Structure 1
């Protein structure tokens, strides 16, 4: 693999979910700069998710009898599953890899849980449409969604009875980060967000009778501030640009922060009025992005792992709910982060249990086999496996998946050697163990399965 192709492979591992063999002929003719432009061009348009047609009327649910409530809960569950699977399918098939990769980043940055799949879909589409746009616009729109207002209790934030939850997380997790504000700033900020609410149709509502119109002192400034003013003042602090850029660096470059690189990123982000696209263009064209110490060093998030496998082998699932079992077993169920801080990522993705599944899932899926999950079958839906540590009962599940081996094999350029195949499937350097696999395996299909069943395939 040429040095240029090695860099392009790295670009697609970070700006997307994987490089496929079918891309090699086209991308091999491009410079890195041209490949970066192609990545952005493919993600110019946003394709909103519309799998959930409308909102469940929860007022009717609360008034319903037990039988009707059960039907509501079943419908709610089906919507949650459908939304999750639809996004995995989108990530697995779209050419707009960068937009979906950044939507996944914002999904974790603005971590949110809601039992209302329609609200979750709305939030997801806001993150997708603004994924490469302007952070202020994204932040403002996310802050006004029913999903986030409900999750962080701003529905209960009223004058004379302020609720500080949203105001606190806005600063601690979404903008300037811990240590850059005081408890008094939290209290004053909460007053500014009083009355922020939403209507039944999911649209934002500012309720003036519930809003505190008194003077507020926030970050050293005093005025009759509203929520929008607080957001503007947070963005005026360069600490916000640094906070976001550090998270992006760890997501796209390296778990170990480089303060000089992050500082330059923050300058570009802050001076560019928080435009996301120029920041990403800087990262993907920086010489340091392509140094060896920044390649093959990040552990794939479970969803990245699943999606990358789907993309590279053109996998379809006769039983799509199996994907949800994978997410549960590996510790990342979309739309269900562990808390408002999101998934911690990095080495936290790997423990003895999840690593076992990560190594076993590729060969099982690619061979249409059976996998054993350490969990109980959900009595309402046998496709869901609750893989909590409290449950030890083993459950055997047939994967019911099909890789398009003909398409995979035909996509490998003629004359590609086994080492080059390994270098395309793996972003980490070829170790002695990988070289041994290459030397002893003559069948290309068997080689591919062995390679994606290695620890090295867990890295990007």
Structure 2
């Protein structure tokens, strides 16, 4: 029996209520990635959700994840400074890293540590004292009744802090600005994005050259994405990177053309088994990437999940397929079939079980 849920905002809402709302959000997000009018943008949002990961399990209100998606989307045409500033002020990320427990006189260092290690400078480019001082700069965030953050001046430490050799009365915004003025931030973010967009890491010299060029471009996000996607390594390595499960599933859905509820429920269930339940990353470092997905259990789950989609009669009956599967549908020629081929259930079965369909 499904019980009624207390209103959103009620403290300590039952887990079943959160789970139900999370599943609804997951289904909407899968549908957007497969069929949305802004699929290219949404794929970029999904990419950054892996850099700034938040689990729905940590939240009391799933609308926080919707606001995080919106904040990322609104920053895509700006700079990394804009994006990082939006994420530091994002309620979902703050809650996931105990940011709202960070008060003057009793700082919580969790958000500051991840900000320096994962979201900006990178390991080895700061001292423990910088973490302590950054935590002081991030004190005082509170959540208003509208679900958005504000600075409670009574809880914020407004005194001088010394971070990376600079002394001033840092707060969240000025701290982000200072971190993004460090070349090590550009290097760390390029190093984190490269495996997700291009593939295996290049030489240290290549990473350094690209990160310095990006730094000189003011950390422009459109510039960086163009450079990564058009890089010689990306062009030469097409079809050599193991794609994320959510990308494989949503492009399979897009090809099938079915928006039947079964399509989304099957996708949700099997994405969890593949290791990438939407909005439920395994750690603050996000999901695995590229060769990290090479795990027999996960690879078998990919195959079974796509077979389940194709076997469901409601999904098949509601399909909207092209007449022909063209060679451009796969990054490299499939191993088990020749393209072009008629878009039949048999040919889709061959395509979905071909190793090439798992590649980016």
Task: Give the Å deviation of 1:297.
Answer: 1.0
Task: Give the Å deviation of 1:404.
Answer: 5.5
Question: Match of 1:227?
Answer: 172
Which of 49, 65, 74 is equivalent to 1:107? Answer: 49
Q: Distance in 1 between matches of 2:268 and 2:348?
A: 24
Q: Distance in 2 between matches of 1:179 and 1:85?
A: 40
Q: Report if the CA contact (8 A) 2:266-2:308 is conserved.
A: no
Distance 1:331 1:224, change over 3 A: same
Q: Report if the CA contact (8 A) 1:145-1:202 is conserved.
A: no
How many residues of Structure 1 are paired with residues of Structure 2 in the alignment? 350
**1:201 has 2:161 as partner:** no
Question: Match of 1:424?
Answer: 328
Task: Give the Å deviation of 1:82.
Answer: 1.1
Matches within 5 A, 1:233-244: 233-244=178-189
Question: Match of 1:85?
Answer: 27
Instruction: Compare CA radii of gyration and give the structure with the larger one.
Output: 1
**1:127 has 2:40 as partner:** no
Task: Give the Å deviation of 1:155.
Answer: 1.3
Q: Distance in 1 between matches of 2:230 and 2:282?
A: 34
Task: Give the Å deviation of 1:303.
Answer: 0.5
Question: Match of 1:300?
Answer: 243
**CA RMSD of superposed structures (Å):** 2.4
Distance 1:429 1:84, change over 3 A: same
Which of 180, 183, 186 is equivalent to 2:131? Answer: 186
Question: Match of 1:362?
Answer: 306
Matches within 5 A, 1:27-106: 56-59=8-11, 70=14, 73-106=15-48
- Deviation per residue, 1:329-369 (Å, 9 max, x gap): 10111111112111122222232222122223333322326
Secondary structure of the corresponding residue to residue 82 of structure 2: helix
The TM-score normalised by the length of structure 1 is: 0.71
Distance 1:90 1:364, change over 3 A: same
Task: Give the Å deviation of 1:424.
Answer: 2.7
Question: Match of 1:317?
Answer: 260
Q: Distance in 2 between matches of 1:218 and 1:409?
A: 57
Q: Distance in 2 between matches of 1:265 and 1:174?
A: 18
Distance 1:201 1:443, change over 3 A: closer
Q: Report if the CA contact (8 A) 1:149-1:197 is conserved.
A: no
Task: Give the Å deviation of 1:284.
Answer: 3.4
Task: Give the Å deviation of 1:430.
Answer: 4.6
Task: Give the Å deviation of 1:261.
Answer: 3.9
Segments of structure 2 that go 5 or more residues without pairing to the other structure are: 1-6
Q: Report if the CA contact (8 A) 2:334-2:357 is conserved.
A: no
Which of 204, 215, 238 is equivalent to 1:259? Answer: 204
Distance 1:187 1:443, change over 3 A: closer
Task: Give the Å deviation of 1:267.
Answer: 2.8
Q: Distance in 2 between matches of 1:101 and 1:78?
A: 24
Segments of structure 1 that go 5 or more residues without pairing to the other structure are: 1-54, 63-68, 370-399, 413-420
Q: Distance in 1 between matches of 2:86 and 2:261?
A: 37
Task: Give the Å deviation of 1:450.
Answer: 0.7
The TM-score normalised by the length of structure 2 is: 0.89
Question: Match of 2:194?
Answer: 249
Task: Give the Å deviation of 1:444.
Answer: 5.0
Q: Report if the CA contact (8 A) 1:314-1:403 is conserved.
A: no
**1:402 has 2:316 as partner:** yes
Q: Distance in 1 between matches of 2:201 and 2:158?
A: 44
Q: Report if the CA contact (8 A) 2:32-2:39 is conserved.
A: no
Q: Distance in 2 between matches of 1:365 and 1:430?
A: 20
**1:447 has 2:347 as partner:** yes
Q: Distance in 2 between matches of 1:84 and 1:443?
A: 28
Q: Report if the CA contact (8 A) 1:145-1:198 is conserved.
A: no
- Deviation per residue, 1:269-309 (Å, 9 max, x gap): 21121211122223334444312xx1111111110111010
Q: Report if the CA contact (8 A) 1:302-1:327 is conserved.
A: yes
Secondary structure of the corresponding residue to residue 109 of structure 1: coil
Question: Match of 1:330?
Answer: 274
Q: Distance in 2 between matches of 1:217 and 1:253?
A: 37
Which of 105, 116, 120 is equivalent to 1:171? Answer: 116
Secondary structure of the corresponding residue to residue 157 of structure 2: coil
